[in-house]
Amino acid sequence: MKILIADKISGSGVQFLRDQEGVEVVEAYGSSQEELEGMVADVDAIIVRSASSVTKAIIDAAPKLRAVGRAGVGVDNIDIEAATDRGIVVMNTPGGNTIATAELTFTHLLCSARPIPQANALMKAGKWEKKAFQGSELYKKTIGILGLGRIGSEVAKRAKAFGMNVLAYDPYLTKARAEQLEVNKVELEEVFEKADFITVHMPKTETTKNMLNASTFAKMKDGIRIINCARGGLIDEDDLAEALRSGKVAAAGLDVFVEEPLSSESALREHDRLVMTPHLGASTAEAQENVGLEVAESIYESLMGGWVQNAINAPSIDPKQLAVLRPYLNLAFKMGTVIQQLTPSEINHIRITYSGNLVNLEVKPLNRAFQRGYLRKITTDVNDVNAPRIMDRLGIKGEIVQNSLERDYTELIRIEATDSNGKSYSIEGTLIGKSQNPRLTLVNERNVESPLDEKYLLVLENEDVPGIVGMVGTVLAKHKLNISNMSLSRNTVGGIALNICGLDSEPEAEAIAEITANKYIKGIRVVNLNGA
Ligand SMILES: NC(=O)c1ccc[n+]([C@@H]2O[C@H](COP(=O)([O-])OP(=O)(O)OC[C@H]3O[C@@H](n4cnc5c(N)ncnc54)[C@H](O)[C@@H]3O)[C@@H](O)[C@H]2O)c1
Ligand SMILES: O=C(O)CC[C@@H](O)C(=O)O
């Protein structure tokens, strides 16, 4: 396995990877995008911080690529769309640099109130200047925090310790969490109207891009102080420069920029009251140790086929959850493969119902496992990352229901697939016994008891007349096909019955033809569970 580390991560992260058997590590710090493109032909994983980008061009140049790891939070330097299409898992390390970035934000906040960098520059130039550097206190001032996630919350705690009044704007922040953090959750307009300081801690999205601009500055108090240690482009840089010139913004602190590195010609460099740092939020020994080791471990884990805890484009799952979900993942996967092989090729709707104990579980990983099972015989290279995309491409709409059905089983998965003529097919499955073996409990509304850890299932529909079991047994025996299990079911005497035989090997075409030739046989399907 070859892992390319494009940006410098902590030595312990690199060492961890070097210590793993069969892992080759290539460190390519400071390479240009073009150089990286030329290095990825045989890499299995790429690790970046914020300097290098994993573009579509790089992804296209890396046919073996399976995982991209970001040592940090923001993944705007990774083409998630292109990665997802290829089934490449993208993961980050949220949390590892939260404190570092919150502390840098506070440093900027203090420097916007007390012009320490500017005073220091004059001291270094041999001067002793006091008058120009009168500051302002944080105590009893109002701070507006936009985005109350990991970093915003830590900034809020520190602001409260300084005796500040905290206003929080975050549409996704629950009332309960705002109460727990002891902040006032308000609308954006109230932040603009009341804040003396505004700091942004949101991701850069279509909604948050240029959220602070000339027209929003106009709504703020004169002498407002603005901090951005999140992402360049949350604040319109030209409008900020103008507001600093006019004095509307008394001071600002920026750690991030629309274009990084910031051009040496940038007009932002001209403003005395603007303090800038070169994207240093995560640059502490502790944060780099955290994220470097975490990304290295996650990348290795994912390449070894384990679950990724902080995947951006697949459901994340922690080891505790995984222990609970593992048998259901197996069941969901097998049910995916069974329903696909029992139905016509043109399926346009699938409803999955999770019943009983599954009602309260996080089922996203189960949906992906089902989809992988469904797609297993339709396409290659399907995984938890690209399975939903492939289902979409096939035009199959999905519906997930978590609702207890009246069944005798404590947990159950029901699948209903509808074909392009509106005809529905159903299966249900559960786990049986201490060893939690997957079992089919219903096929097309007929109760069955058919283990899913067989190699093949022969699924027959026949008129309910005597002699069918004998005929099937005779034909299978003639073709040396060993029956491992048989489940018979009918809804009405003399109606259409269902017969599912577990088989140790694949029935050849002649055996199927002989059984089908019997006039009472109304339908026959072979389900291949081999390797499923
Ligand atoms: N300067 C650095 O070196 C550095 C380091 C780490 C993180 N970051 C950046 O800091 C930012 C915050 O990181 P985090 O770890 O706290 O992320 P997070 O996901 O924990 O928090 C982001 C918060 O923004 C909120 N949000 C989303 N859309 C919003 C909107 N339209 N209006 C208001 N709030 C909105 C979310 O609800 C969430 O609470 C990110 O942009 C991240 O990339 C920068
Ligand atoms: O790696 C860095 O130096 C910055 C990381 C930071 O921007 C992040 O989003 O985590």
Minimal CA–CA distance to 444: which of 330, 338, 366?
338
Q: pLDDT band at residue 316, thresholds of 50, 70 and 90?
A: confident
Q: What is the predicted pLDDT for the residue at 480?
A: 95
| Residue-range domains of the chain with CATH | 2-96+286-303 (3.40.50.720), 98-276 (3.40.50.720), 317-453 (3.30.1330.90), 454-527 (3.30.70.260)
Of the candidates 229, 309, 291, the one whose C-alpha atom is nearest the C-alpha of residue 47 is 291
Ligand 1 near 170 CB (within 6 A):
yes
pLDDT in tens, 131-140: 999 999 999 9
Residue 152 beta carbon below 6 angstroms from any ligand 1 atom: yes
Q: Which pLDDT value is given to residue 494? A: 77
Is there a catalytic annotation at residue 260?
yes
In this predicted structure, the answer to whether residue 331 has a pLDDT above a threshold of 90 is: yes
The residue assigned the tokens 């801690």 is 201
Task: Return the pLDDT at 244.
Answer: 97
Ligand 1 atom 8: residue of nearest CA: 230
What is the per-residue pLDDT for 495?
86
Identify the pLDDT of residue 437: 94
485 three-state secondary structure: strand
**Whether residue 479 lies in the annotated active site:** no
Kindly indicate the confidence band of residue 320, based on its pLDDT and cuts at 50, 70 and 90. confident
Question: For position 493, what pLDDT does the model report?
Answer: 83
In this prediction, residue 219 carries a pLDDT of 98
Is residue 380 over pLDDT 90? Answer: no
Q: Which of 43, 38, 35 is nearest to 67 (CA)?
A: 43
Look at residue 323 in the predicted model and tell me its pLDDT. Answer: 87
For 101-118, the pLDDT digits (tens) are 999 999 999 999 999 999
State mean pLDDT over 7-36. Answer: 97
- Return mean pLDDT, the chain: 95
Instruction: Report the distance separating Cα 211 and Cα 146, nearest Å.
Output: 10
The count of other CB atoms within 10 Å of the CB of residue 463 is 15
Q: Which of 279, 368, 376, 446 is an active site residue?
A: 279
Q: Would you say residue 322 has pLDDT above 90?
A: no
- pLDDT tens-digit profile of 462-495? 999 999 999 999 999 999 999 999 999 887 887 8
The CA-based angle 334-414-485, given to 5 degrees, is 50
pLDDT in tens, 212-228: 999 999 999 999 999 99
ipTM of model = 0.99
- Pick the range with the lowest mean pLDDT from 120-129, 317-326, 339-348: 317-326
Q: Is the pLDDT of residue 173 over 90?
A: no
Q: Which residue has the higher pLDDT, 93 or 319?
A: 93
Please state, in angstroms and rounded to a whole number, the distance separating the CA atoms of residues 270 and 4: 39
Has residue 441 got a pLDDT over 80? yes
pLDDT tens digits for range 28-76: 999 999 999 999 999 999 999 999 999 999 999 999 999 999 999 999 9
Average pLDDT estimate for 144-148: 97
Cβ of 482: how many Cβ atoms within 10 Å? 12
Ligand 2 touching residue 279 (CB < 6 A):
yes
- Residues counted in the chain: 532
Is the pLDDT at 514 greater than 80, yes or no?
Answer: yes
The bound ligand whose nearest atom lies closest to the alpha carbon of 228 is: 1
The model's pTM is 0.81
Determine the pLDDT at residue 283.
Answer: 96
| Residue 94 near ligand 1, beta carbon < 6 Å | yes
What's the pLDDT score for residue 531?
A: 74
